Amino acid sequence: MIRVRNLVKTFGNFTAVNDVSFEVAEGEIFAFLGPNGAGKTTTIKMLTTLLKPTSGSIELDGLNPQAKQNEARRRFGIVFQDPSLDGDLTAWENMQIHAVLYHVPHKVWPKRTEELLKLFELWDRRDDQVKKFSGGMKRRLEIARGFLHTPRILFLDEPTLGLDPQSRNQLWSHVKRVNETEKVTVMLTTHYMDEADRVAHRVGIIDHGKLVAQGTPAEIKQQTGAADLEGAFLKLTGNTIRDEDADPAAAMRQFAQMWQQNRR
């Protein structure tokens, strides 16, 4: 379903993604793990047509996303690291806009929206403005929205960041259910190794732009001789802390957090 070969992305002298190759089979849940700044988000951006690769090839459901951008975009859904809902609109209206932008026929989307909102336990709140939702509810709505146009692939970039264990658990059980019933391929990134261990069929570990290991969680643990995935991850990527230089987005993220705390 996803086939990546020798993918490279450089920004000036800096190589963010360095010769990465992997495949994800149909219906699989693939976790893409790595320390901060390892190249996870850059890879996801290239897969989702937001960035042009410097070299290498990508295939999504047999399509080259650079050459056939719009066809490729119809086939995947994405949940970004930062929120992308419209807080002034209601949950229902957010779904409606998505349906229109993804050309979901008018006969189809209201029913599918109802199903998804019920599945993600948001149906009772469908007419409330999204800004009144909790962090977990917003995340669920974003994921429900990602499924609305029945994509073949769903990308989740750190979807559980900042959520409590209850919300995280609930979120993954919903994702797993849709993955099983609709055979949607899921590619996710997360910093919570226990989540990856529980949810993912296979994981890939990336560090300094290079893919250092891939396989089932059990295989990775076996390779490294670690008791759990977190131990394996630390063995593969070392214990040094990656201090990234703050980019404008990070500065704004900090500002947004302050703002949200002050409002509570």
Partner 1 sequence: MSAIYILWLRELKRYTRSRAQIIASLGQPMLYLLVLGFGLGPIFKRAGAGNYLQFIAPGVIGMSVLFSSIFSGLGLLWDRQFGFLKETLVAPVSRIQIMIGRTLGGATVACIQGLIVMIICLIAGFRPASLAAIPVAVGFMILIAFLFAALGMAIGSGLQDMQGFQLIMNFLVLPIYFLSGAMFPLNTDLALPLKYATRIDPLSYGIDGMRNAFGSPNTAFNLSLDLLVLVVLACILMVYGAHRFTKIEV
Binding site for partner 1 (CB under 8 A): 45, 48-51, 69-71, 73-74, 78, 80, 82-86, 88-89, 93, 96-98, 100-103, 106, 129, 145, 248-249, 251-253, 255-256
Q: Shortest Cβ distance from residue 11 to partner 1 (Å)?
A: 11
Q: Shortest Cβ distance from residue 100 to partner 1 (Å)?
A: 4
Q: Cα–Cα distances in Å, from 17 out to 4, 22, 82, 160?
A: 12, 13, 21, 24
Which CB atom, from 238 or from 255, has the smaller least distance to partner 1?
A: 255
Q: Shortest Cβ distance from residue 103 to partner 1 (Å)?
A: 7
Structure tokens at 157: 């970039």
DSSP-derived 3-state class of residue 202: strand
Structure tokens at 162: 């900042």
Q: Which of 9, 52, 47 is nearest to 152 (CA)?
A: 47
Which CB atom, from 35 or from 146, has the smaller least distance to partner 1?
A: 146
User: For 233, phi and psi rounded to 5 degrees?
Assistant: -60, -45
Structure tokens at 260: 């949200």
Which CB atom, from 79 or from 200, has the smaller least distance to partner 1?
A: 79
Q: Shortest Cβ distance from residue 205 to partner 1 (Å)?
A: 25
Enumerate residues 6+ apart whose C-beta is below 8 A from 89.
97, 129, 130
How many Cα atoms are found within 13 Å in the side-chain-facing hemisphere of 229? 27
Pairing assessment for the beta strands 14-24 and 2-11 based on DSSP bridges: antiparallel
Give the sheet arrangement for strand 76-79, strand by strand.
76-79, 153-157, 185-189, 29-33, 202-207, 210-215
- Helices 109-119 and 135-147, packing angle to 10 deg: 140
Q: Shortest Cβ distance from residue 62 to partner 1 (Å)?
A: 17
Which CB atom, from 75 or from 221, has the smaller least distance to partner 1?
A: 75
Which CB atom, from 57 or from 84, has the smaller least distance to partner 1?
A: 84
Which CB atom, from 24 or from 78, has the smaller least distance to partner 1?
A: 78
Q: How far apart are CA 75 and CA 62, in angstroms?
A: 11
Which CB atom, from 108 or from 252, has the smaller least distance to partner 1?
A: 252
Q: Shortest Cβ distance from residue 256 to partner 1 (Å)?
A: 6
